[in-house]
């Protein structure tokens, strides 16, 4: 049977998970250790633990209480473990003296667990103490320390700061107040007080006994410990232990902590006769502490049970009123959110239908067609000399101009790297749609910077990347024939004719808009008259330059316009020309001259647009099979697998980003933990009842 203390420690740690305040309000008894500096307090604690673990030295003053939980691990060690431990013990010499594998230490507040190096334990204790500034002197916030070993008993000890004893006259009032409140907090019922006094100091002056008496006037909860018996005569020592001068119900235990001169065992054997009716030795002290704590715990069972029950009732009521008893854990919440995400991604699949894919690609590739047209034709056509060629169909020079340019343009278009280009357009488009979905989802962690945002994006990128290059290659391979020859049927030509007119009209609209904006900008400064003057000035200068009348001073003359204004004016004129040109081309390709594919040389807009459509259709075919089907199939699978790898902490962090969910989860957790604690306590009470009955029957 696991000791009662151990079970209560477990219950306490369950309550601790709710909040430290919770375990304070439902107080399970602990042993509070007090003693003035150098009284031998550290030696006593270390003897109970069996290990040198407290930082020492003149500068080291404890500023915070240490809540020391000892857990006996003996029952848990089976034969195999035992052999392992023995082996480890043998190799200990090589691992360094401060490491003991039979001791594992936890600092729950620091999330540091299973430390086996005691120099690390000491340094963490120093760090935690130094968190309290010298200005504050002491803090009520305890350091939690759990030591698990087969060599320690199940005990809960609280080591109070050494300051508590130095209540001297020159201390500031504020410190006195702090010490008082710390004492009030820890030395009250149902805690047991372990008051440590040194034998070489008169008990009347023992600060530990004084402090104990203030909180436990009848001496019912105080156990006295007298250290350093070896420093006084055995007779004197025995007198102190006999509990006559300052009686305590639980009496005094005398100890001699190992020092250079004598061992405890040697000392008591030598002076056996003196200590006949006394309680002595560290062993005795340990045993006594275990029994006292068990008894006190047992007494506290019922009242604690009632308090817990009340707490649970309150919590359950709140849970019903506020959350309608709806069960929610961080994981179920996360999974429900992931379901929403998956559903939205599934809907996204419909959005990426073939026709939608085409229109996404068209947006970008049409722009490429316009760029090629501008580079290979329009810039030329703006030049008046070439414009003259347009009507002149029989002119050989003209024919060759149109033919060569069309070949050049077709090759530019088909050699753009359509494979990579289209694959990356669609990849980016999926990612940006995914971001839109994430943005609409509720918890912030789905959004920028939230860890799920990054996680989901990374998964999407990973799934898409897997097929990126093979898809790009496939597309590129399949458009290869178009690099050599393209056959265009009359129906395709007619469609393309209409579409290219629309495309040019769209472009014309853009040019007109830009022109309009620029005009507003230019007339804003000085009215339309000044604009006319500016344009005229620029046109004249261009004419001068074109006509090669290079009168340098005239070309450099700025007509009183600023450089920026001149640049803007030039741009305006360019737009004007482009506008005229587009109007002309729209009329031209709409007309009889572009009736069929035979006239493709002179109607490059229609021809290129027709090729563009073929490229797009081919690309879409493969993008759909190679990239999209695979993405929509594998993304949810990858998502599930990555989600299942998330740590509990990550999931909780995610859920708690939403305030309402966080409250819901907290309350549910509180309720669950209270139920668990209460359940354990109920079992303990039942067990107590049965064993009492059995004892009676015996
Ligand atoms: P603390 O300041 O109350 O924690 O006291 P320590 O345990 O650090 O002990 C203070 C000093 O007293 C140390 O030098 C110990 O070695 C010494 N000491 C502790 N117990 C005994 C004892 O039983 N006999 C003797 N002779 N010295 C002791």
Encode pLDDT of 522-561 as tens digits: 887 566 777 888 888 888 877 777 665 555 455 566 777 7
> HSE-up of 247 (CA within 13 Å, CB side)?
3
Comparison of pLDDT for 174 and 578, the residue scoring more: 578
Q: For residue 391, what pLDDT is reported?
A: 59
Cβ of residue 467 lying under 6 Å from some atom of ligand 1: no
237 Cα–ligand 1 center, Å = 16
Residue 369 pLDDT > 90: yes
d(CA 329, CA 400): 76
Nearest CA to ligand 1 atom 11: 38
48 CA to centre of ligand 1 in angstroms: 14
Is-contact 504 589, C-beta < 8 A? yes
Q: Is 39 in the pocket of ligand 1 (CB under 6 A)?
A: yes
For residue 43, report the distance from its CA to the centre of ligand 1, in Å: 6
Report the C-alpha gap between 514 and 655 in whole angstroms.
49
Indicate if ligand 1 lies below 6 Å from the C-beta of 207. Answer: no
Atom of ligand 1 nearest to the CA of 255: 23
> Which atom from ligand 1 is nearest to the alpha carbon of 54?
4
At 95 the pLDDT is 42
- By alpha-carbon position, which residue is closest to atom 6 of ligand 1? 40
pLDDT at 537: 85
> CB-based contacts of 130: which residues, under 8 Å, 6+ apart?
63
Q: Tell me the two tokens of residue 654.
A: 């995610």
Which of 191, 152, 163 shows the shortest CA–CA distance to 41? 163
Contact 680, 11 (CB under 8 A): yes
Q: Are 690 and 697 in contact (CB under 8 A)?
A: no
Using an 8 Å Cβ cutoff, are 673 and 667 in contact? no
285 CA from centroid of ligand 1 (Å): 17
**Predicted pLDDT of residue 327:** 87
Res 80: pLDDT: 46
pLDDT digits (tens, 9 = 90+) for 570-594: 899 889 989 998 998 999 999 888 9
Please give the number of the atom of ligand 1 that sits closest to the Cα of 56.
8
| Cβ of 254 less than 6 Å from ligand 1 | no
Q: Which residue has the higher pLDDT, 513 or 662?
A: 513
Report the distance separating Cα 675 and Cα 669, nearest Å: 10
For 398-437, the pLDDT digits (tens) are 788 889 999 999 999 999 999 999 999 999 999 999 988 8
**Rounded to whole angstroms, what are the CA distances from 539 to 388, 535, 553, 562, 644?**
20, 6, 16, 16, 71
**Contact present, 674 and 312 (Cβ < 8 Å):** yes
Cis omega before residue 269 (within 30°)? no
Closest-CA residue, ligand 1 atom 15, reads 40
Each residue's pLDDT tens digit, 233-273: 999 999 999 988 889 999 999 999 877 777 888 899 998 88
> Is ligand 1 within 6 A of the CB of residue 198?
no
- Position 361 scores a pLDDT of 95
Contact 414, 615 (CB under 8 A): yes
Question: How confident is the model at residue 626, as a pLDDT?
Answer: 87
Collapsing DSSP to helix, strand or coil, 222 comes out as strand
Which ligand 1 atom lies nearest to the CA of residue 229?
23
What pLDDT, in 10s, does the model give residues 226-235? 999 999 999 9
Distance of CA 567 to the CA centre of its chain: 53
Query: What is the spatial distance between Cα 293 and Cα 290, in angstroms, rounded to a whole number?
Result: 5
Higher pLDDT, 27 or 292: 292
**Which mutation among 36, 37, 38 tests ligand 1's pocket best, with the greatest number of atoms within 8 A of CB?**
38
CA 15, CA 137: separation in Å to the nearest integer? 29
Q: Which helix (H) or strand (E) holds 226?
A: strand 222-227
What sign does the dihedral 261-266-270-274 (CA atoms) show?
Answer: positive
| Ligand 1 centroid to residue 258 C-alpha, Å | 9
* Residue nearest atom 26 of ligand 1, based on CA coordinates: 228
* CA–CA gap between residue 617 and residue 605 (Å, rounded): 18
| Nearest CA residue ID for atom 22, ligand 1 | 228
Are 39 and 229 spatial neighbours (Cβ–Cβ below 8 Å)? no
Q: Where are the alpha helices (DSSP H) in 277-329?
A: 282-323
* Strand 155-159, strand 66-72: pairing: antiparallel
| Tens-place pLDDT, residues 80-134 | 455 555 555 544 444 445 667 789 999 988 889 999 999 999 999 988 888 887 7
Give me the residues paired with residue 149 across strands. 72, 103
Residue 493 token pair: 């030509």
Residue 513 has pLDDT above 80, yes or no: yes
CA atoms of 269 and 234, how far apart (whole Å): 12
Supply 369's token pair: 């067609």
Contact 381, 581 (CB under 8 A): yes
Answer whether 624's CB lies under 8 Å from 449's CB.
no
**Contact in structure between 196 and 282 (CB atoms under 8 Å):** no
Would you say the CB of residue 35 lies under 6 angstroms from ligand 1? yes
Distance CA 66, CA 105 (A): 14
- CB-ligand 1 contact for 670 (6 Å cutoff): no
Report how far residue 599's alpha carbon sits from residue 494's, in angstroms, rounded to the nearest whole number: 13
Element (H, E) at 422: helix 418-440
- C-alpha of 430 from chain center: 26
CB count, 10 Å around CB of 41? 27
Tokens of 222: 């105080």
> Exposed/middle/buried for 690, CB within 10 Å: 0-12, 13-18, 19+?
exposed
Residue 262 near ligand 1, beta carbon < 6 Å? no
Question: Which DSSP category does 447 fall into?
Answer: S
Give the span between the Cα atoms of 477 and 497, in whole angstroms: 28
User: Looking up tokens 């050494």, which residue turns up?
Assistant: 162
Q: Name the nearest CA neighbour of 240 among 212, 200, 273.
A: 200
Cα–Cα separations (whole angstroms), residue 131 to 119, 125, 143, 144: 19, 10, 11, 14
pLDDT score of 610 more than 50: yes
Residue whose tokens read 């195999």: 80
Q: Is 328 in the pocket of ligand 1 (CB under 6 A)?
A: no
Task: Name, in order, each residue with C-beta under 8 angstroms of 381's C-beta and a sequence gap of 6 or more.
Answer: 387, 390, 581, 585
Q: Return the bridge partners of 112, or none.
A: 107
CA 74 to centroid of ligand 1, rounded, Å? 30
Establish how many alpha carbons lie within 13 A of residue 532's alpha carbon, considering only the half-sphere containing its beta carbon: 3
Mean pLDDT, residues 443-461: 74
Q: For residue 372, count other CB atoms closer than 10 A to its CB.
A: 21
User: How many angstroms does the Cα of residue 259 sit away from the middle of ligand 1?
Assistant: 8
Closest residue (by CA) to atom 2 of ligand 1? 38
Among 257, 262, 267, 280, which residue has the most ligand 1 atoms within 8 Å of its CB, making it the best to mutate?
257
> Tokens in use for 554?
């005239």
Burial 551-574 (b: 16+ CB within 10 A, else e): eeeeeeeeeebeeebbebbbebee
Confidence check on the interface: ipTM exceeds 0.90, yes or no: yes
Sheet of 155-159, strand order: 112-115, 103-107, 143-149, 66-72, 155-159, 31-35, 192-198, 222-227, 252-254, 279-280
- The enclosing H or E element of 366 equals helix 354-373
Position in ligand 1 atom list of the atom nearest CA 45: 7
Q: Quote the pLDDT of residue 163.
A: 53
């Amino acid at each position: 049977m696991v000791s009662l203390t151990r079970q209560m420690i477990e219950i306490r740690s369950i309550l601790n998970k709710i909040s430290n305040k919770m375990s304070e309000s439902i107080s399970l008894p602990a042993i509070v250790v007090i003693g003035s500096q150098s009284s031998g307090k550290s030696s006593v604690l270390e003897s109970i633990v069996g290990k040198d673990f407290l930082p020492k030295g003149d500068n080291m003053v404890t500023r915070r209480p240490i809540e020391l939980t000892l857990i006996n691990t003996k029952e848990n060690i089976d034969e195999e473990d035992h052999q392992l431990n023995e082996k480890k013990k043998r190799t200990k010499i090589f691992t360094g003296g401060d490491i003991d594998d039979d001791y594992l230490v936890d600092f729950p507040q620091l999330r540091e667990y299973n430390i086996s190096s005691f120099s690390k334990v000491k340094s963490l204790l120093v760090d935690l103490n130094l968190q309290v500034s010298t200005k504050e002197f002491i803090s009520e916030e305890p350091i939690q320390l759990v030591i698990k070993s087969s060599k320690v008993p199940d005990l809960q000890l609280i080591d109070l700061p050494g300051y508590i004893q130095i209540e001297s006259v020159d201390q500031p009032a504020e410190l006195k107040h702090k010490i008082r409140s710390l004492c009030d907090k820890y030395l009250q019922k149902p805690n047991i007080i372990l008051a440590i006094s040194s034998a070489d100091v008169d008990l009347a002056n023992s600060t530990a006994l004084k402090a104990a008496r203030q909180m436990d006037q009848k001496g019912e909860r105080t156990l006295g410990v007298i250290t350093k018996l070896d420093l006084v005569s055995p007779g004197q020592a025995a007198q102190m232990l006999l509990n006559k001068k300052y009686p305590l119900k639980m009496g005094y235990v005398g100890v001699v902590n190992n020092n250079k001169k004598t061992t405890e065992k040697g000392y008591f054997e030598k002076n056996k006769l003196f200590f006949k009716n006394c309680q002595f030795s560290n062993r005795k002290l340990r045993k006594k502490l275990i029994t006292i704590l068990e008894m006190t715990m047992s007494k506290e069972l019922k009242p604690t049970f009632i308090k817990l029950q009340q707490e649970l009732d309150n919590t359950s009521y709140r849970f019903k009123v506020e959350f309608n008893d709806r069960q929610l854990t961080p994981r179920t919440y996360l999974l429900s959110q992931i379901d929403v995400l998956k559903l939205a991604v599934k809907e996204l699949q419909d959005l990426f239908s073939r026709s939608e894919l085409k229109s996404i690609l068209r947006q970008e590739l049409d722009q490429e067609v316009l760029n090629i047209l501008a580079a290979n034709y329009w810039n030329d056509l703006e030049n008046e000399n070439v414009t003259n060629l347009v009507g002149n169909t029989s002119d050989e020079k003209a024919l060759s101009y149109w033919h060569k340019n069309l070949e050049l343009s077709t090759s530019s278009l088909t050699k753009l790297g359509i494979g990579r280009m289209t694959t990356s357009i669609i990849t980016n488009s999926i990612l940006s749609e995914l971001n839109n979905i994430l943005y609409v989802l509720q918890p912030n962690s789905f959004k920028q910077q939230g860890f799920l945002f990054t996680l989901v994006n990374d998964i999407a990128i990973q799934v898409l990347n897997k097929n990126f290059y093979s898809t790009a290659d496939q597309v590129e391979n399949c458009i290869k024939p178009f690099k050599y020859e393209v056959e265009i049927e009359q129906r395709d030509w007619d469609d393309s004719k209409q579409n290219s007119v629309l495309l040019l009209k769209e472009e014309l609209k853009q040019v007109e808009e830009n022109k309009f904006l620029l005009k507003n900008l230019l007339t804003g400064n000085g009215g339309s008259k000044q604009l006319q003057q500016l344009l005229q000035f620029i046109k004249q200068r261009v004419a001068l330059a074109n006509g090669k009348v290079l009168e340098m001073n005239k070309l450099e003359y700025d007509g009183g316009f600023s450089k920026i204004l001149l640049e803007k004016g030039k741009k305006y004129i360019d737009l004007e020309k482009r506008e005229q040109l587009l109007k002309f081309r729209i009329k031209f390709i709409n007309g009889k001259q572009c009736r069929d594919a035979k006239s493709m040389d002179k109607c490059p807009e229609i021809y290129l647009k027709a090729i563009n459509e073929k490229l797009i259709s081919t690309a879409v075919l493969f993008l759909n099979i190679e990239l999209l089907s695979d993405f929509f199939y594998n993304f949810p699978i990858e998502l599930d697998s990555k989600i299942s790898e998330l740590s509990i902490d990550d999931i909780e962090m995610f859920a708690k980003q939403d305030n309402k969910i966080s409250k819901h989860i907290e309350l549910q957790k509180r309720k669950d933990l209270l139920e668990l604690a209460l359940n354990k306590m109920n079992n303990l009470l039942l067990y107590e009842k049965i064993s009492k009955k059995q004892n009676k029957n015996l």
